[in-house]
Structure 1
Amino acid sequence: MHPFPINRRELLAAGGAAALAGGPAFAAESPGRIDRSREGMVVSVSAAASEVGRRLLAEGGNAVDAAVGVAFALAVVHPPAGNIGGGGFMMIHSPCCSPPVCIDYRERAPLKATRDMFADGGDLHGHAMVGTPGTVAGLALAHERLGKLPWKRLVEPAVHLAADGFPLEESLAESLNEVLRDSPDHRELQRVLGQSRERPWQAGDRLVQADLAESLAQIGARGADAFYKGEVAKKLVAEMQAGGGLISAEDLQGYRALLRRPIHASYRGFDLFGPPPPSSGGIVLKLALNILGALPTDRHERFAPQTLHLIVEVMRRAFCERARSLGDADFVDIPPRLTDKQYAVKLAKGIDLQRATPSASLAPEIPLAGEGDNTTHFSVIDKDGLAVSNTYTLEQSYGSRIVVGGAGFLLNNEMGDFNWRAGRTDRNGRIGTPANLIAPG
């Protein structure tokens, strides 16, 4: 997002499931398709969730209202990553004078967590992998600061989607069948998402989630307190105690979403803002743009092979630095070199304009890992130029695969994102460094 006034005459989105203010939601699956609106836009992975945002805009809500509604809706219609049992980051850009802000609502390591608790390995889908969820607190903070519509109204669409059910698209039906097949021992997951079916899910089948509907209704009525102090909290703690998890009532009651100052980068006259640590997004973006700015990018067309080669080489180096050095700034120092243009120039000098660099050669000690589909992002902008960019996750797809008994929602397995021992790799293949070791709270 940038701090300049948004052109209110025309808003554009490419791909995703778009909902244009003044029109219905639809899937825009072609990567080359561009859609336009003058009144506002919502783009998410789900047409149903985008439609929730569009309707909230049509009722007089702003982009923050719509974003909160979309987030709760995705917890129902996109269980691989949409959630109330995970965490994320929200960037908010105001159309007038105030600078962009970032809401950090990532999961926290429970107070009982220890640095070496997974030194000898751990069950990636076990209760001990669950971090204290932050999603509900983050959405509540966004609404408290900038929302217009009543909180309950923002949660109601998700309640109805869960209680009445929604028709499955083919991709979600296949995803559900896969996770059910791979998780025979997760009984609550089988009950809630499998529903004792005699045949696999198919496109058009209706998924009803009564327990989740009740949890969302309580959150709608009581706000974040329902999740962190009320009946939902009690069920979550009971689930942890039954399965050997670490989250306590104290962890839930002590959780706070945080306002952070975004990372600011400039490139060719544009100002860009991204979330700061513990997110890697803002720093990696700034480092990549600084490296790119030191390279001859004007010699070729935008999508010419030579241009794409430079971008790939830049990202190799930026993500290498990410794996080496980034962690939670509340616990470790972030190396200043990562945002220093002179260091970016040094990295740029190592790029061969004609030949690709093997990624493994940049940091042989860091095993390479593939990219997953474990997170979801959505964007909202309203007619006044208020814009929201939100990324949230359960960590892996379907998180820990643990569904809170009687509450109907999936829990994250974010503890697996920490390094388990310095010198060893985490489950994502990152080498264990002090910057990414477990620290409670």
Structure 2
Amino acid sequence: MRKAILVSIMALMIVAMFAVNPLNLYGRDAEGRNGVVAAAKPEASEVGVKILEMGGNAVDAAIATAFALGVLEPNASGLGGGGFMIIKLANMDDAVVIDFRETAPSAAGPTFFNLDERNRVINYETIIGGKAIGVPGEVAGLLYALENFGTMSRAQVIQPAIEWAEKGIPVTVNLFSIINDNYEKIMMMENGAELYLKDGGIPYEIGETIVLKDLANTLRIIVEKGKDGFYKGEIAEKIVAEVQKRGGVITLEDLANYDLQIRKPVVGTYRDYTILSVPPASSGGTHIIELLNIMENFDLAALGDNTPETLHLWSEAMKLIFADRAKYMADTAFVDVPLTGLTSKEYARTLAAKIDPSKPMESVAAGDPWQYESGSTTHLSVMDKEGNMVAITKSINYFFGSGVVVPGTGIIMNNHMDDFVPTPGSANSVEPGKRPLSSMSPTLVLDPQGRPYMTIGSPGATRIITTVAQVISNIIDHGMTIQQAILAPRVFRTASGPMSIEGRISINAYNKLLEMGHQLTVRGDYDAYFGGVHGVLYNYDIGILFGGADPRRDGQAFAF
């Protein structure tokens, strides 16, 4: 244990050294005339670009990148998780959303979790172990997209992920830190320790590689048998056995009956740019549009980027949208959600009118959108010169998910049951087959002429919503390049509590915000708390695609 503590201290020292090294911030963007892939691992971005070079389309590249990310960044996403995808190919009139979010097992219900007398979850059941695990949707979602919108075979797009699993994934500063931060979770269940720790329970060192042969074999089965290779047969039996061993209730029937959803995107505009994003069970797209609708009522360009006046407006608008999110958002298959009202320009104007430009609101309640009704996650972005766009955000929730690793498969199981409200009576309480509320927000942007302009998204839990909106605003309001917009400082707040700010906010802005009455929490200069944006933007004036990647993660864009 003493050795583990010393290793953790060394990891924090190394991370701190890299965080203040400005050279670590640059060289992450890319530009090209044919196609760009921006993902949370450079090796995964390179996989996607090679698929494009082989003649694959944007969907082929995105699916290859997604499978590779599940290997190269196993702490954040993978076969045991789920997510959302939005696709708009050049020959499509409308974008398509593929919802491959996890679902609650059939034996789960509103009283599924054990609570104490204060309604607090006992023994971390929503986070660690079998009860935290939802029925995973990643394999179904990625293969559906490939089969319906791609041009290549399973073997072609999954082979790079297999090769990385066999060769071994590099231990970066970021992965080293994450393993150390989650050391106790990994040690709690022997299967994870066998994969992600060396003999004796010691973390791998920076520069070493972690070989994932079991995961490579699982991917081979998926290549051979497709969706059934995961949701039925030997792999499914191993998943059920391990989940139930760890206290969960997933059955073979739950896996065999998993059903993804094809949805229409939620659509809005921001200063004549069209925003296309994902609807519930993700709250992300709806509240990105709501947030931008509120901010559209203010002249952000004149106020300036990262000035106290602008940051104040962002903070107040965030309070309003998170109050609405808490009251109204849930899986629309189970709850009636006022989506039209929440994304209404008129409703946003009523919310904007509540904002005092000189001081923060003391308390915030949800608005009434009904009267405006008419009748640790990862992200990747792909765009090519034809205007084909794909954005995927996928996750196992917390780093290393539930801690449950299925023996003989390399699969880390999610803990997305934590995204439900653990008590009865909420719109987001547990019900059999229900999708837990998410903030994942893969988003596409069209320019004022209706042309493909940008694909963007981020990990980061509820910070996804505010982060994506701020980056879009940085580009549209302040004329930043996509990489400048990603590098710019970020802020976050919910309906209550302090405003979180990155340490690079100017001291003048910091002091002014205090004078205005804000409570502030200062985080790191480039803090992973605020997500990790990966996006691609098409500059039509010069015919070049620009990819941006976030130094808050291991992201890097590749182009050709």
TM-score of the superposition, structure 2-length normalised? Answer: 0.67
SS at match of 1:362: coil
1:385 is aligned to: 387
Q: 1:437 aligns with which of 424, 429, 442?
A: 429
Contact 2:185–2:403 under 8 Å retained in 1: no
Give per-residue Cα distances to partners, 1:141-191, cap 9 Å, x unaligned.
111111111111111111111112132112112212332344422111111
User: Which letter does structure 2 place at the counterpart of 1:137?
Assistant: A
Matched, 1:117 2:112: yes
1:290 CA drift (Å): 1.9
Matched, 1:356 2:351: no
CA distance in 1, matches of 2:148, 2:186: 40
Contact 2:178–2:399 under 8 Å retained in 1: no
CA distance in 2, matches of 1:322, 1:245: 29
SS at match of 1:436: coil
CA distance in 2, matches of 1:180, 1:300: 45
Distance 1:34 1:178, change over 3 A: closer
Distance 1:33 1:309, change over 3 A: farther
Structure 2 segments unaligned to the other structure (5+ residues): 1-22, 116-120, 367-375, 434-560
Contact 1:180–1:189 under 8 Å retained in 2: no
SS at match of 1:104: strand
CA distance in 2, matches of 1:119, 1:325: 25
With 210-219 and 169-178 compared, the bigger mean Cα shift is at 169-178
Distance 1:31 1:93, change over 3 A: farther
CA distance in 1, matches of 2:92, 2:100: 25
CA distance in 1, matches of 2:27, 2:191: 41
1:92 is aligned to: 87
User: Which letter does structure 1 place at the counterpart of 2:215?
Assistant: L
With 332-341 and 55-64 compared, the bigger mean Cα shift is at 332-341
Q: How does 1:161-310 map to 2 (within 5 A)?
A: 161-197=164-200, 199-297=202-300, 299-310=302-313
Contact 2:198–2:204 under 8 Å retained in 1: no
2:400 is aligned to: 398
Distance 1:218 1:286, change over 3 A: same
1:266 CA drift (Å): 1.1
Contact 2:99–2:141 under 8 Å retained in 1: yes
2:40 is aligned to: 45
1:30 CA drift (Å): 2.6
SS at match of 2:84: strand
User: Which letter does structure 1 place at the counterpart of 2:37?
Assistant: V
Contact 2:48–2:62 under 8 Å retained in 1: yes
2:65 is aligned to: 70
Contact 2:78–2:138 under 8 Å retained in 1: yes
1:408 CA drift (Å): 1.0
With 334-343 and 264-273 compared, the bigger mean Cα shift is at 334-343
1:31 CA drift (Å): 7.2
Q: 1:340 aligns with which of 337, 340, 344?
A: 344
Distance 1:312 1:399, change over 3 A: same
User: Which letter does structure 1 place at the counterpart of 2:348?
Assistant: A
CA distance in 2, matches of 1:411, 1:405: 11
CA distance in 2, matches of 1:216, 1:306: 51
Q: How does 1:369-384 map to 2 (within 5 A)?
A: 374-384=376-386
With 193-202 and 143-152 compared, the bigger mean Cα shift is at 193-202
1:430 is aligned to: none
2:138 is aligned to: 135
TM-score of the superposition, structure 1-length normalised? Answer: 0.85
Distance 1:274 1:173, change over 3 A: same
1:158 is aligned to: 161
Contact 1:153–1:220 under 8 Å retained in 2: no
1:242 CA drift (Å): 2.2
Q: How does 1:14-53 map to 2 (within 5 A)?
A: 30=25, 34-53=29-48
Distance 1:161 1:320, change over 3 A: same
Give per-residue Cα distances to partners, 1:362-389, cap 9 Å, x unaligned.
259xxxxxxxxx2111111123221111
SS at match of 2:411: coil
CA distance in 2, matches of 1:29, 1:258: 40
Distance 1:34 1:71, change over 3 A: closer
Contact 2:34–2:384 under 8 Å retained in 1: yes
1:210 CA drift (Å): 1.2
With 392-401 and 194-203 compared, the bigger mean Cα shift is at 194-203
CA distance in 1, matches of 2:300, 2:173: 41
1:419 CA drift (Å): 0.5
Distance 1:177 1:300, change over 3 A: closer
SS at match of 1:435: coil
CA distance in 2, matches of 1:143, 1:183: 33
Please identify runs of 4+ aligned residues in structure 1 that moved more than 4 A: 31-34
Contact 1:174–1:201 under 8 Å retained in 2: no
Distance 1:92 1:52, change over 3 A: same
CA distance in 2, matches of 1:286, 1:186: 41
Structure 1 segments unaligned to the other structure (5+ residues): 1-27, 365-373, 423-432
Contact 2:214–2:410 under 8 Å retained in 1: yes
Contact 1:89–1:392 under 8 Å retained in 2: yes
SS at match of 2:64: helix
Contact 1:104–1:258 under 8 Å retained in 2: yes
Contact 1:119–1:421 under 8 Å retained in 2: no
Contact 2:188–2:403 under 8 Å retained in 1: no
With 170-179 and 76-85 compared, the bigger mean Cα shift is at 170-179
**Seq. identity, %:** 39
1:52 CA drift (Å): 0.9
